[in-house]
Amino acid sequence: MKIEVDYDACEANGVCEAVAPEVFHVDDEDNLNIIADPTPQTADKVRQAVQSCPKAALSLRED
């Protein structure tokens, strides 16, 4: 599973980080960083975070 981010759409509101902080991090300069690849342990949370993004800036590519 791979996360794709539309950085033009992302407004760095941190909703995804609140759902899956192991994977998403908004830094002090309001940039969203993917800090880890999804694992079997975090995959469900990552899917939930993708669906929670109010800007629809996240998508998943399933391998």
State how far the Cα of 63 lies from the Cα of 59, in Å rounded to an integer. 13
DSSP string of 1-19, one letter each residue: -EEEE-TTT-----HHHHH
Q: Which of 3, 23, 46, 58 binds ligand SF4 (CB under 6 A)?
A: 58
CB-nearer residue toward ligand SF4: 39 or 51: 51
Q: Is 42 in the site for ligand SF4 (CB under 6 A)?
A: no
Q: Are 16 and 29 in contact (CB under 8 A)?
A: no
CB-nearer residue toward ligand SF4: 24 or 38: 24
The residues of the shown chain that bind ligand SF4, judged by CB under 6 A, are: 10-16, 24, 26, 32, 53, 55, 57-58
